[in-house]
Amino acid sequence: MTAEADFEQIPAFEVRSPASQTMPFVFNSPHSGRHYPPRFLEMSRLDAITIRRSEDCYVDELFSGVITGGAPLLAANFPRAYLDVNREPWELDPRMFSQPVPPYANIRSPRVAGGLGTVPKLVGEGLDIYQGRLPLGEAISRIETIYHPYHERLKRLLIDTHAAFGHGILIDCHSMPAGVRSGDGALRPDFIVGDRFGVSAAPGLTQCAIDLLSAQGYCVAHNKPYAGGFITEHYGRPAQGLHALQIEINRSLYMNEKTFEKTPGFYALMNDLTEFSRALMSAASRYFTAFSLAAE
């Protein structure tokens, strides 16, 4: 069996679109997938609860208000423990496989060293996913069947958005453990806004996102310790009119990290994120329109 068979009953990912896209934004939730194929669970040494420790639980739901706000949301159904599309396509740990990895694989990235490559070795808290080595064909199947189509879909969404509006803005949506600290270690932020240290987005867009979240009463950090992963880095091209921000949400705001249950704060946060995203989309549209007019 292959990755294709793992997602016969449910699509590996889906685009949730408004009736008409009215905003130059694309939202992306690559780590909130919660369909764990039975075949994958059989390979794993972890139980069905523990294996979820890398999951960005419910992030797609938290940002669902963007759809009625006029922007599409691309959401993974496959779990991060199964495949991580916020990596290069071939960040593979050769120690995981029973055959040699391809010569073009990136086997020395810090993410591979940390057990968090394209096909992860570990979930949160450093727990091994698998009982033994995998056939290399397992990784190849997941990458060719899911990873590449996912990125082709994301790329097409951004190309179409750029063509329609003259620019495109990607918001890559994630969550982080409650204990994450920023800066000197004293600060426990509610949100971290990442722009690859100013490389992936216009400074005005980044500052607008920080200001809007701060105005809602949240503690917001910038780039530390999460500046954005492969997706933010790969798609953020401000000089070409494509901007990318990563937004990390502290899970303690909306869920119990041990039971994965939503807490009473979930719906209040969802409402705040709907308000935030609509304000950001409106402000960014005005900003880029004014920028374009000034350049003419």
Half-sphere exposure of 273 (CA within 13 A, CB side): 28
Q: What is the pLDDT of residue 166?
A: 93
Q: What is the pLDDT of residue 176?
A: 96
Q: What is the pLDDT of residue 157?
A: 98
Q: Which residues of the chain have pLDDT under 70?
A: 1, 184-185, 289-296
Buried b (16+ CB within 10 A) or exposed e, 272-285: bbbebbbbbbebbb
Question: What DSSP state is assigned to residue 45?
Answer: S
Question: Other CB atoms closer than 10 Å to residue 225's CB: what's the count?
Answer: 15
Q: Domain 3-295 carries which CATH code? A: 3.40.630.40
The pLDDT mean for the chain works out to 94
Q: What is the pLDDT of residue 292?
A: 47
3-state helix, strand, coil in the chain (%, to 5): 40, 15, 45
Tell me the per-residue pLDDT of 140-198, one tens digit each, with 9 for 90 and over: 999 999 999 999 999 999 999 999 999 999 999 999 999 898 876 678 999 999 999 99
Question: Under a CB-based contact definition with an 8 Å cutoff, are residues 78 and 33 in contact?
Answer: yes
Helix (H) or strand (E) holding 286: helix 265-295
Q: What is the pLDDT of residue 207?
A: 95
